[in-house]
Structure 1
Amino acid sequence: MTKKVQLGFESDCVTIPVADILPVRALSKSIKSSRKYTQITASIREIGLVEPPVVARNGDVGGSWLLLDGHVRIEVLKDLGREHVECLVSTDDEAFTYNKRVSRIAAIQEHRMILKAIERGVPEDKIAAALDLNPRSIKRKVKLLDGICPEAVAILKDKACTLAVFTTLRKMIPLRQIEAAELMVNANNYSVAYISAILAGTPQAQLVEANKPKRVNGLTPQAVARMEKELARLQ
C-alpha cells in the first residue's frame, strides 16, 4: 500500500493582503539602517519579490496569517506601499520548528528566480545591482544548470551547493552526475573539496572528456588513481 506523503507547503501560493499578515517576532530598531535592509529594498524595487514569504493559517483569528519567514521582506513591502503579496503557505504552523529548517536560498532556487526576473524583462545589470552582485556572477548563475542532467538538478534543488560544485559536476556524464549528487546528499556534504574528491574517484569512462587526462588540484595522478579505486570499492 502506498503511503501518502505529507507536504511541508500547500501546493499553490496565495495572494494575501499585507495588513492581514501577523509577524511572530519583532525586528530590531536598527534593521532599517542596515545594509541588508537596503539591499532587499533595492531588490524588490528593481526585480520584484523573488522569494515569497512563508505564512501559516491562523486558526485563532479567521482571515489572518502567521508570518513564519520573511519578516524583513514584509516590512520592506509596507515601506514601499505594497498592499498584497504572494506567499507560500506552510502546513506546519510552529514557527520555531519551521525556522530551524530555514537556510540561505539554494543555488538552484536562486538560478530559477533570476531566470524568472529575466523572463519578466528585467535587464541582467539591474538584477546584479539589486542583488549586490558582479554582472559576471549573474551570467554564471543564469548558466548554472547548463550541462547538468534533470535528475541531478532534482536531487540538489534545495541544497546549499556553490557554483563550483556545478562546474565540477559538468565534467561528468549524466549517470555519474546523479551518483555524485546522491553521494553529497548521503554525506550531507556539499563542499568543493568533497565534489573534487568524487571527481578524483570517477572512472575516466564516466567523464564528458573521457580521452582527456583527469586533473584535480592538489592531487598527483597516483593519488587520483588511488582515490578512484577506493571510491569504486566503497560503492
Structure 2
Amino acid sequence: MKREPRRPSDTVKIAFEEDFVVLPISAILPVHTLRKTVKASQKYRQITASVREVGLVEPPVVARDKSKSGTFLLLDGHLRIEILKDLGITEVECLISTDDEAFTYNKRISRLAAVQEHKMIRRAIERGVPEEKIAKALDINVQSVQRKVRLLDGICEEAVALLKDKPCPIGVFETLRKMKTLRQIEAAELLVNANNYSVAYISAILAGTPQSQLIDASKSKRLKGLTPEAMARMESELSRLQEAITSIQDSYGKDHLQLTVVKGYLAKLLGNGRIVRYLMTHRPEFVGEFQTIAEMTSTLPAELS
C-alpha cells in the first residue's frame, strides 16, 4: 500500500536551533525593561550568588533579529542577562529560538517545592558539596541550609507524599513535627484541601490539635494570643470541620454527577415552549429556579466560585 506524501501542515517545526551559540551580551536586545525594585529582591541576590558560585545553569533564550543582522532579541532570561552585566561578564551561551514570540518560558516551569529543594540539597551533600558552597549558591546562611537538610526529620512518609510538590514554607514542617503520625496526615490533608500552606494556617491546626495527638503530650500548648478556652473551642471546631470535609469527599463525585444530569435535563425542559408555558401557568415559581440551575457554570457556592 502506497503511503500518502506528508502535507506541509503535518510537519513538525523545530522550536530551537540545534546548537548553543556564544554571543556577546552587547548584541542581545531585551524586549522589556526590568522594574527598578528587582535588584533589591531576594530572588535577584540568590540568582547572582548562584551564577557567581556555579555559573549559569539555564541559558537565556534569544531569537535572531530579522531587521538587523548580528543582533538578537532576548525572549527569556532578562534577569540573568542583567546579573551577567553586573558581574562584568561580556559573553553568554544562548539557546536560539526559531520563533520570535516573546513569552516567558519560566511561566511553564514549576518552581521547586520545599520537599524537592530538601532532596536536591541532600543529594548535593551526599556527593561531597560542602554546606558552605551550597549556602553561597543559594545566598543563604549555613544554618538555613542545615534547616533544609533536616526538613523531613520526624515527618511521616504519608504526609511527605501529600506535600511533596506543594509550596510549603519550612515552618509548616517544623510545626508538623510536633504532631503524631496520624495527626500529621490529617493536618497535611487539611492544608491540601484548603489550598493554604501558610505557617499561620498550620499553627491554627496545631492549636486545634488535642494534647493526646502531640509528640510531647505532657507539654502544654502555648500560642500567643490564645487562651486555653479559645484553644479548646478551636479543637472542637476543627474536629467538626474535618468530619464535614470527609463527608463531602465521600459523596462529592456522586453529587456532582447527579447535579450535572439534572442541569442537562432542566435545560432540555426549558427549551420546550409547551412545557415552559405550562409551568408559567401552573407553577410560575419553578421557572426561575429551574433557569438558575440550568445556567449554573459552577457547582461551588457563589462565595467560593
Q: Which amino acid in 1 is paired with 2:126?
A: E
Q: Which residue identity is paired with 2:120?
A: M
C-alpha displacement of 1:40: 2.5
1:122 matched to 2:129? The reply is yes
Q: Helix, strand or coil for the counterpart of 1:121?
A: coil
* Corresponding residue for residue 196 of structure 2: 189
Q: CA deviation at 1:38?
A: 6.5
Residue identity opposite 2:229 in structure 1: Q
Please say which structure displays the higher CA radius of gyration: 2
Q: Give me the identity figure in percent.
A: 65
1:199 aligned to which of 203, 206, 209: 206
**1:47-196 to 2 correspondences below 5 Å:** 47=54, 99=107, 102=109, 104-196=111-203
Equivalent residue, structure 1, for 2:219: 212
Question: Are the equivalent residues in 1 in contact too, given 2:113–2:166 (CA < 8 A)?
Answer: yes
Deviation at 1:42, TM superposition (A): 3.7
Q: How far 1:120 moved relative to its partner?
A: 2.4
Q: Which runs of 5+ in 1 are unaligned?
A: 1-15, 20-24, 56-67, 86-94
Q: 1:46 to 1:96 in 2, by over 3 A?
A: closer
**Scaled by the length of structure 2, what TM-score is found?**
0.51
TM-score, scaled to structure 1: 0.64
TM-superposed deviation, 1:75: 9.9
Count how many residue pairs are aligned between Structure 1 and Structure 2: 195
Letter in 1 for 2:166: K
1:172 and 1:206 in contact (8 A); partners too: yes
Q: 1:137 to 1:17 in 2, by over 3 A?
A: farther
**CA gap 1:96/1:126 in 2 versus in 1, 3 angstroms:** closer
Greater relative contact order (Cα < 8 A, sep 6+): 1
- Is the CA contact (8 Å cut-off) linking 1:47 and 1:122 kept in structure 2? no
1:82 Cα deviation from its structure 2 partner: 9.0
Question: Does the 8 Å CA contact 1:47/1:127 hold for their aligned counterparts?
Answer: no
Q: RMSD across aligned C-alpha pairs, in angstroms?
A: 4.0
Q: 1:49 to 1:233 in 2, by over 3 A?
A: farther
Higher share in helix: 2
CA contact (8 A) 1:171 1:207 kept: yes
Deviation at 1:192?
1.4
